[in-house]
Structures are given as C-alpha cells and as structure tokens.
Chain A
Amino acid sequence: MAEKLQLIGIKKMLRGRQVLDGVDIDVRERRSLVIIGGSGQGKSVTLKCALGLMKPDAGQVLVDGADVTKMPEEIRARVMRKFGMLFQGGALFDSLTVWENIAFRLIYADKVARKEARERAIETMRKVRLAPEFADVRPIELSGGMQKRAGLARAIIAKPDILFFDEPTTGLDPITADAINDLIVEMVKELGCAAVSITHDMTSARKIADEIAMLQDGKIVWRGPTASLDSSGNAMVEQFVAGRADGPIQAVV
C-alpha cells in the first residue's frame, strides 16, 4: 500500500516562533494516524499545512505522491477534493440548515441538484446516526454531539480519500465522545480512506488510532503502533500518557 499523505520536513514559523521544525508524517490507505501532543505544540498547524490552509515555510506535502505545495491553485483545489475534515468546533455554517451544511460540497463544488443533494445529505445523516428530523433546523439548535455528527456527515458525504479530525471529542461528555470515536472508526473502515487526527484525549487516541505519533517542540519525537504506546520507552510519551506535570515536558501555565 502506498502512502496517501506524506508530510516531509515541514517547517513553519509563526510570530517569530518556530512552531514546526521539520515534521515528517505519513499515512496509508485504510490506516488511522493520531498525532498527540500538548497545547501549543503545533498539532493544528500541522493539520492546516496538510490541508493547504497554511503554506509551510519549507518541506513537502505529498498527496498520492504529488507535492501540493508546488501545484497551481486550480490543480491544488482539485486535489483538495480528496480531503474531508471534521473541525474541532464543528465549523458548521450558521446561515444554512443542517442538510445544506452537509450537502455544501455537493451543491456548490460538485453542482449536484438540490433535490438529490438533500437526499444524499439525509442518507449520510442516518449513517452518522443523526435523525433526519434535524435536516431543516439551523446548527445552533443542535447539541454539541449532534454538531459533531453533522460535521462528520459533511466530511464524509463526498467519500474522501483522506479524513482529518481536529480534536473530535473536545467539549463532549464521555458517553457522547465514545459514540463519536465509534463513528470515526466505523466511517474510516467503511470508506476505506486514510485518517489523520489530532487530539490530547488519550481515550480517543487509543480507540481511533492504528498508529500514534507524538509532536513536541515542532518535531515528531515518537511514533509507533497504538498497542506499543504504554511501552514506548520515550520519557516524553510516558509523561504525556500518564498526565504527569513532572518530567521532560515543562507544563505551560
């Protein structure tokens, strides 16, 4: 299996601080990689560089072997169609109904007729166990868990090759968080896509990851299968997994 996504030597400086200092990650088809790390370590910036929302200062972002950082805008936009993304806060459009949010890509990018787009949106709502009765309400009327489900439905409706998840369980109660984790695992399997998630929720990481990588000081300091997380032999990973304040990582308070 070839790599669907590769980040090679990604560097990014923001406001005079080297946030990413040569990040290397890759993920293959049907594999789920979770990047863990403390707040402010560059997890979101890594994801934004991978998604093309931020241009890295140096390094390559390869999608199916093609470097998207050097592509003209129109071709890059076509490559972006392979992506689906679940944002931390859902990032649902306030001015549209739930079904219009879910079908946004179909209507505005793929030019699917509204009637068909609505049917596909409702079908996808069922997949993520969001009742079709909520199709015509505004996102503000949904609970946090429902908003995540709607965001997930929007991310998967166009059957992407690579799915990104930004803190998928943040702000959810443990039961809803577990349900979202189950859905993520199920959807990644069903679509057969590659998945990259960032989180500092270790329960979520253990559940959705095939592999885990730890980002610290702008670099990947450890990477391995989920099963080896507790025997990583890396002091920073051990401290992070145990949630201890004392250790090589200094807590920022």
Chain B
Amino acid sequence: MINPFAPIGRATIAFCAEIGRFSAFTGRAAAAIVSPPLFIGQFLRQCLQIGYYSLPVIGITAVFIGAALALNIYVGGARFNAEQFVPNIVVLGITRELGPVLAGLMLAGRVSAGIAAEIGTMRVTEQIDAMSTLSTDPFRYLIGPRVLAATLTLPILVLAADIIGVMGGYLVAVNSLDFNGAAYLRNTFDFLETEDVVLGLVKAGVFGFIIASVGAYQGYYSNGGALGVGRATTNAVVGSIVLILAVNYLITAFFVN
C-alpha cells in the first residue's frame, strides 16, 4: 500500500538537507572571508565585475523607478489634495524599499546567474578539482572574494541608486508636474532621516551576501554538464530573488519594530 505521507516526508527531508548544506556552505564561505589568506587581487577583480560593471544597469533602473514613482504618487496624492508629498514619498520609497530591493533583483539576474554559470562550468570541467590538487582552497580563491565583493559593493550601488532614483523623481516633478526644483530638493532632504538610508544599506549588504552565496552554492554543486550548469543558473536567480524578498520583509519588520 502506498503511504500518502511518504512523498511529503521525502520532500521535507530533502528540503532540510538542502538548508543544512547551504548553511554549511555559507559558513565555509564566511570563514574564508574572515581568516587569512584573502586573495586581494581576486577580491578587487570581483569588486570591478560585480560593483562597477553593474552601475549602468542599477542607474537606469533607479532613474525610471524614481520617475514612475513620482508620477504615481502625484496621481494618487491628487485624490486627496496631497500632491505636495511627492518628494517625501519618493525619497522614502526609494531609500527604504525600492532602491535596495530593485538593485538586489537586478543583481540576482546579472551577478548571481553569472557566478553560478562561471563556477558551475568550472565544476563540470574539473577546474575546481584541479584547484584543490594545486593546494588552493576554492572557497578562498573563488567563493570568498565573490561573496565579500558583493556584500561590500551592493551598499555602494544602492547609495548610487538612491541618489539617481531621487533625481529621476526630481526630473519628472520639475519638468512634467510643475514642481519648483529647489523646493522639491529641500522637501526631500528635510524629510529624509538617517535611519531610512541605513535601513536600505543594511538590506543591500545582506542582499549582496545572498546573491553571491546562492550563485556560488548552485554553481559549486552543479553536475550533469551543460544541462546542470543551466539548471544551476536558473536556481541561482530564482533562489536569490525569493530569499531577497523574504529577507527584505524580515529586515523591514525588525527595523519597524
């Protein structure tokens, strides 16, 4: 007789095993970051790859989101004569929520997928095994620098996204909605509090860690040739996005409470 609970039990055990393996992986990655030797050259290369080369996509996303946000708030605010709150709500929305979340989602596509594909290809072509036989720990050479670079550069990208996003709102408000430029900026800065920016930057650091570690994890354990690398890449993007959204809520709830 088929036990109807068996598949549920199997799935639960597999899920728990995956969580355990991921936790052990991130623990090893974190240990590789905080203890010497750190491969500085690799770290700087990854900062360039993850941080600098992501700036255009983050900037373009931020400017359009800021602009669309300003328009929407203006239309919504007009229903109860609150159009003047456009700068306040744009800066709040960008710094606390949209800046870090959208930057995280964009980088989940660009960086997490890239890391998974690169490390996955190295796994299936035995380059990771080769590295081990050359007395070099892949966690120190490959994974640690990527995780550290993503954790440190994402807050900088989000800071840039915050500024660009606010400027997107400013451009629309001044050019299309007849706001006074100086007044718009004064309202923005008067309303903004340090906590708003700090919340966004904390989120960004955590998202950076998630993006790189999920990508590296999926790549490191990929198998089955090109198909396996493709699967690892998809899982990296989906896993990063789901984790970013879940962790975003938890961090927000923690700060709000």
Contacts and interface: CB of A to CB of B under 8 A. Distances in A.
Q: Are chains A and B native binding partners rather than an unrelated pairing?
A: yes
Interface of A: 48, 51-53, 77, 80-81, 83-85, 87-89, 91-94, 104-105, 108-110, 154, 164
A224 B186 CA distance: 88
Interface stretch (B85-93, B128-136, B144-152): B128-136
6 contacts: A51-B132, A52-B132, A77-B135, A84-B133, A91-B125, A105-B134
A25 to B, nearest CB: 18
Interface of B: 39, 121-122, 125-127, 129-137, 141
A109 B136 contact: yes
Contact of B141 (A52, A80, A88, A108): A108
Contact of A91 (B39, B126, B135, B136): B126
B146 to A, nearest CB: 13
A53 B136 contact: no
B126 A89 contact: yes
A6 B136 CA distance: 24
A179 to B, nearest CB: 22
A109 B135 CA distance: 6
Contact of B130 (A52, A81, A87): A87
Given A77-B137, A89-B126, A91-B126, 12 more contacts: A48-B129, A51-B132, A51-B133, A77-B135, A91-B130, A92-B127, A104-B136, A105-B135, A105-B136, A108-B39, A108-B136, A154-B130
Decide if the interface of chain B is mainly helix, strand, loop or mixed: helix
A16 to B, nearest CB: 15
A30 B156 CA distance: 57
B133 A83 contact: yes
**A-B pairs, 4 with minimum CB distance:** A109-B135, A91-B130, A91-B126, A105-B134
Contacts, number: 54
Nearest to A105: B134
Contact of A88 (B121, B126, B133, B134): B126
B132 A87 contact: no
B130 A85 contact: yes
Contacts of B136: 104-105, 108-109
A14 B151 CA distance: 36
Contacts of B121: 94
Contact of A104 (B122, B125, B129, B134): B134
Contacts of B131: 93, 104
A94 B131 CA distance: 12
A98 B132 CA distance: 18
Given A108-B39, A108-B141, A87 B126 contact: yes
Contacts of B134: 104-105, 108-109, 154
Contact of B132 (A53, A92, A154): A53
B141 A91 contact: no
Contacts of B135: 77, 80-81, 105, 109-110
A88 B129 CA distance: 12
A53 B129 contact: yes
A89 B125 contact: yes
Contacts of A51: 129, 132-133
A84 B132 CA distance: 11
Nearest to B136: A108
A52 B127 CA distance: 15
A77 B136 CA distance: 9
B127 to A, nearest CB: 5
A84 B177 CA distance: 69
Nearest to A110: B135
Nearest to B132: A53
A104 B131 CA distance: 9
A88 B126 CA distance: 9
A53 B130 CA distance: 10
A145 B140 CA distance: 31
A2 B146 CA distance: 44
A91 B132 CA distance: 12
Nearest to B134: A105
A137 B126 CA distance: 20
A97 to B, nearest CB: 14
A156 to B, nearest CB: 12
A73 B88 CA distance: 55
A247 B75 CA distance: 83
